[in-house]
Amino acid sequence: MFGGIDPALLIAALIVASVPIILAAIGELVVERAGVLNLGVEGMMIMGAVCGFITAVSTGSAFLGFVGGALGGAVLSLVFGVLTQFLLANQVATGLALTLFGLGLSSLIGQSYVGIKPPLTDAVPLGPFADIPFFGRVLFSHDWVVYLSVASVAAVWWVLRATRMGLILRAVGESHDAAHALGYKVRRIRMLAILFGGAMAGLGGAYISLVRVPQWTDGITAGAGWIALAIVVFASWRPWRALVGAYLFGGITVLQLNLQAAGSRIPVEYLSSAPYLITILVLVIMSSGRGKAALNAPASLGQNFHASR
Amino acid sequence: MKRRTLLATAALGLGLAFGGAANAQGMDKVKACFVYVGPIGDLGWTYQHHQGALELVETYGDKVEIAWQENVPEGADAERVLTQMALSGCNIIFTTSFGFMDATNTVAGKFPDIKFEHATGYKRDHANVSTYNARFYEGRAIQGHIAGKMTKTNKIGYIASFPIPEVIMGINSYFLHARKVNPDVELSVVWAFTWFDPAKEADAAKALIDQGVDVIASHTDSTAPLAEAAKTNGAVIGFGQASDMADYKPSPRVSSIIDNWAPYYVKRVGELLDGTYAQTDSWAGIPEGEVEIGEITDAVPADVKAEAEAMRDAIAAGTYHPFTGPINKQDGTPWLAEGQVAPDGDLLGMTFFIEGITGDIPQ
Amino acid sequence: MVRLEKRPSPSAFWQWATPILAVLLTMVAGGIMFALLGKDPIAAMRTIFWDPLFNAQFASYSRPQLLVKAGPLILIAIGLSLGFRAGIWNIGAEGQYIMGAIAGAAVGLYFFPAENRLIFPLMVVAGALGGWAWAMIPAILKTRFNTNEILVSLLLVYVAQNILASMAVGAMRNPDGGGFPGSRNLSQYPSAANLELIPGTGMHWGVIAAFMAVIAAYILLQRHILGFQIKLAGQAPRAARFAGVNPTRLVVLCMGISGALAGLAGLFEVAGPAGQISIDFNVGYGFTAIIVAFLGRLNPIGILLAGLLMALTYIGGELAQFMLGLPAAAIQAFQGMLLFFLLAVDLLTNYRVRLGAKREVA
């Protein structure tokens, strides 16, 4: 069934394909661990995609492009933050409105950038490592953003688990009233988390417009933000599981295209639904097993905080 | 198929009788309106239609006013947009996606004085509805020729959108002409099930490349497959789709199919202005300039380029039809006999692969 | 220092005044955006908010169209609001909408070309069942395996879209359509068509169903024990359990109702305004309805008004596009702004804004 598919190439491809989703998902994971549900990931990603693209084209530097992308996503998330944290607007509705707004605004500001080629982002020269059979292709032939995506997962994992900052963040997400009573600035912490989430979504978007596709067109993210949201839930709000989830999803997507290209006899209509169905199936298996309690969302997720005292 | 042609002919007759007479005096000023399925910034399908619309103003100046609406969903919304356009005083309305077919005919029935032009459809229920389409398969034939000559791995690929006749026709034409010059060539088709999803298109191109494919044609609208091919440093080539995609010259983009709707739009609005407008069912291609072959770059050897250009000129002169028998269907049953040219009806309703293509059309 | 003070109960004045204030603020902000794009802001506002209702040229047509556009939004949003009140997150109404349309259309196409009065009612039942069944997947996975319903319902949207595409080019393709994708046009098949009931009003069965859903939801929430349980489960889940609310039953009920209503919306759309199963049949009603539900503060009457307002911006936005040449993207951004302002000023309903330092309460 897998005849003709080179596993090294497949794994290398899935690692690259998953980068935008990992970046956006790990950002949203931090936001949600702080008790905020921002459904506007798609809007922030596409703002990142367009801002990153414009920055890269006008400065000629792909690196600055990524910085611009992160900024673009963060600025849009600021709108969400002000609305939900200061004006206590409903988070679900604000997030969805953010997506609508982001899709429109990105298309407006990107109008004159359609059809331009951005500067290239090259693979990191890892010298002899890249020549190691199999692992060289799989692990040591990527651009720096790929490594950044994995590093950000590790960093978020470490911060949440082992630092005071992570403890406070989780406390705010589990019970904002208790955290407030302990003297933590709930609103400030949540704002920072939201900005981080926006920046990461922006980075993910910029990866699409600068590396994956590389070009700017309207609607370029084509739903990647929604998948990132699903991956956060899939991961039960745990960083490494988000990585696994994104690789699983990206892997099946790449595999189904490879199976088609290799002339597999499995009907395409089943193949194209496979990434979604298998993700659901894996989550069902995971959630029906042991450790059910650990799967629950942060207790204050989606609730607004207003300090009455 | 027969019934449809018959109906079309009858409707055409009516159109000539009434529509023609009513318009004989011509008009001083025409408001031409366009309904687009995507954003004009998609650099593909909708972008090209909009270029054609802009050409109207270029050609006729003050005598033409254009208005348009982007991102119109197919279905209920289309009917409302069309009605509002009709109410706003448009004289001729171009609906530029297949999915607008029923809405176009419904609204046309309510506004008999307004001309409706529907792209890529087949229904002309009223005398004021015309249809137009382009013979993209003619361009695919030239791409197939280049692909068959250029492939070193003997594996060529096609990123397909949806299994509809328009797409199947293109795949068949591409493969037919590749096989003609290279009997060892094999075709891999990847169905993306989307018209536009750059990331997925890039993944599909990557999957094909990983499978050893070194020439990729695509029927989806973004430049993502070309960008993916560009990462291989010239090992893999591809073609521009819908627009020229000149940024990827000279390689991986070695040529392109350009949808050029301008000649048709200019002709139709001109006819409305001078009073010669009549209902039609237009299916134009390379000869009329509606399908253009973008420059074949130097990445293609001179002899191959010359052959490709000769084929283009033969199609333009009407001396060569890309689907000329003998051609068998995938299961080996004969489709076209020696020297027989494919009837348009067969092409428009094409739901089968030709002999030699492996894999099934999704159902 | 600006400070917020929670009102003991929502302000009746601001409940009505906030939407108007939000629209005014949007006009100012949107006007600035349109002016930056080089368009006359006053003309733009008039085209978006006034012309669909009162313009002599269009209004007789576009006013009824408001109902056509708002109908499915309201119908879906009512269903979703019940679950949202109970803390059950069905994000996948879009998928249930698709499956309802497919199931309903399948019944109609099966009987084609027979004419019988019972066909349409049967399609309605099938549409509701289709949406209901699709919503039962996340509901059952949630109750049996504790699988998160946000993820399952969202991912099933994509699966439904794949099924839709496969139906449009495969099983349901119009045999007389010359191989083109898309089913027969149900609105041209009398027994299956969901047509305007009174010409020129835009009222079709889907709009009537939406109004009925508004009334039913209102009664349910005000008068019925289930409405009480839903509200309790959302506000105080632990108390709800003590009060004997069965969470499994509530999940199955809320998901089922929202799925069935979304399925109905899909059926009425496919048999009426859209007419056929096609690859791009769904246009995002399922997602927009989530916004409508929250704009309406999860209240049936509020949802009715929010649905109409959204419909107005869609139709007015369309007019502005081709009358004034505004890009579609600007309209999208404008809608986003309107939502932001609506959500932001809602604050005034529940809180007082105080200036200056806090008074010590004795």
**DSSP assignment string, C130-189:** HHHHHHHHHHHHHHHH---HHHHHHHHHHHHHHHHHHHHHTTT--TTSTT-SS---GGGS
B228 and B268 within one domain: no
B167 and B67 within one domain: no
Whether pLDDT at A149 is above 70: yes
Runs of H (alpha helix) within chain B: 2-14, 20-22, 45-60, 76-87, 101-110, 136-150, 165-181, 198-210, 224-230, 262-274, 302-317, 344-348
pLDDT of residue B19: 40
Å between A45 CA and nearest CA of chain B: 13
Whether pLDDT at B12 is above 60: no
B161 and B98 within one domain: no
State the Cα–Cα distance between residues B323 and A152, nearest whole angstrom: 55
Are the C-beta atoms of residues C328 and B70 closer than 8 Å to each other?
yes
In a domain, A218, yes or no: yes
Residue C68 contacts B where some CB pair is shorter than 8 Å: yes
State the Cα–Cα distance between residues C160 and B300, nearest whole angstrom: 44
Structure token digits, residue A151 = 């590093």
Residue in chain A lying closest to C34 (CA)? A108
In a domain, B353, yes or no: no
In tens, the pLDDT along A188-217 reads: 999 999 999 999 999 999 999 998 888 888
Q: Which domain holds residue A195?
A: 20-114+137-239
Q: Write the CATH number for B6.
A: 3.40.50.2300
**Hey, are the CB atoms on A96 and C291 less than 8 Å from each other?**
yes
In a domain, B252, yes or no: yes
In a domain, A131, yes or no: no
In a domain, A39, yes or no: yes
Q: How many domains would you assign to chain B?
A: 2
B299 and B238 within one domain: yes
- Residue A3's pLDDT band, with cuts at 50, 70 and 90, is low
State the Cα–Cα distance between residues A55 and A51, nearest whole angstrom: 6
Å between B3 CA and nearest CA of chain C: 10
Mean pLDDT of chain A: 88
End-to-end CA distance of chain A: 64
**Hey, are the CB atoms on B193 and C278 less than 8 Å from each other?**
no
Structure token digits, residue B263 = 């000649």
In a domain, A142, yes or no: yes
Closest CA to A178 of A57, A46, A298, A17: A298
Task: Give the number of B-C residue pairs with CB atoms closer than 8 Å.
Answer: 111
In tens, the pLDDT along B304-344 reads: 999 999 999 999 999 999 999 899 999 999 999 999 999 99
**In C147-172, which positions are buried (b, 16+ CB within 10 angstroms) versus exposed (e)?**
bbbbbbbbbbbbbbbbbbbbbbbeeb
B104 and B25 within one domain: yes
Average pLDDT of span B264-269: 95
In a domain, B355, yes or no: no
Residue in chain B lying closest to C66 (CA)? B80
In a domain, B176, yes or no: yes
Whether pLDDT at C232 is above 80: yes
Average pLDDT of span A72-85: 95
In a domain, B363, yes or no: no
B55 and B114 within one domain: yes
In a domain, A272, yes or no: no
Checking phi first, is residue B140 left (phi over 0); if not, alpha (psi -120 to 50) or beta?
Answer: alpha
Report the Cα C357 to chain-centroid distance in Å. Answer: 43
Q: Kindly state the helix (H) or strand (E) to which residue B293 belongs, with its residue range.
A: strand B291-294
Mean pLDDT of chain B: 87
B247 and B102 within one domain: no
Of the candidate ranges A58-67, B183-192, C323-332, C349-358, the one whose mean pLDDT is the lowest: C349-358
In a domain, A283, yes or no: no
pLDDT of residue B134: 92
Q: What subunits touch chain C, counting only 3 or more CB pairs under 8 A? A: A, B
B204 and B142 within one domain: yes
Are the C-beta atoms of residues A23 and A201 closer than 8 Å to each other?
yes
Give every CB contact of residue C260 below 8 A, 6+ residues apart in sequence: C79, C100, C128, C129, C131, C132, C135
Of the candidate ranges A261-265, B102-106, C94-98, the one whose mean pLDDT is the lowest: A261-265
In a domain, A257, yes or no: no
Are the C-beta atoms of residues C162 and A273 closer than 8 Å to each other?
yes
**Hey, are the CB atoms on C340 and A276 less than 8 Å from each other?**
no
**Hey, are the CB atoms on C318 and B84 less than 8 Å from each other?**
yes
Q: What is the pTM of this model?
A: 0.88
Whether pLDDT at C283 is above 70: yes
- Residue C5's pLDDT band, with cuts at 50, 70 and 90, is confident
Domain C72-325 class, CATH top level: mainly alpha
ipTM: 0.86
Express as a percent the part of chain C with pLDDT over 90. Answer: 43
In a domain, A11, yes or no: no
In a domain, B31, yes or no: yes
Residue B122 contacts C where some CB pair is shorter than 8 Å: yes
Average pLDDT of span C76-98: 92
Q: Which domain holds residue B74?
A: 2-135+261-284
B95 strand-pairing partners: B35, B118
Q: How many domains would you assign to chain A?
A: 1
pLDDT of residue A137: 76
Whether pLDDT at B104 is above 90: yes
Å between A253 CA and nearest CA of chain B: 8
Whether pLDDT at B8 is above 50: no
In tens, the pLDDT along A9-52 reads: 889 889 988 999 999 999 999 999 999 999 999 999 999 999 99
Of the candidate ranges A139-143, B124-128, B289-293, the one whose mean pLDDT is the lowest: A139-143
Structure token digits, residue A123 = 């693979």
Structure token digits, residue B59 = 């050609």
- Residue B311: other Cβ atoms inside 10 A: 21
B337 and B218 within one domain: yes
Give every CB contact of residue B356 below 8 A, 6+ residues apart in sequence: B175, B179, B187, B330
B35 and B7 within one domain: yes
In a domain, B229, yes or no: yes
**Hey, are the CB atoms on C58 and B193 less than 8 Å from each other?**
no
In a domain, B361, yes or no: no
Whether pLDDT at B193 is above 60: yes
Are the C-beta atoms of residues C285 and C265 closer than 8 Å to each other?
yes
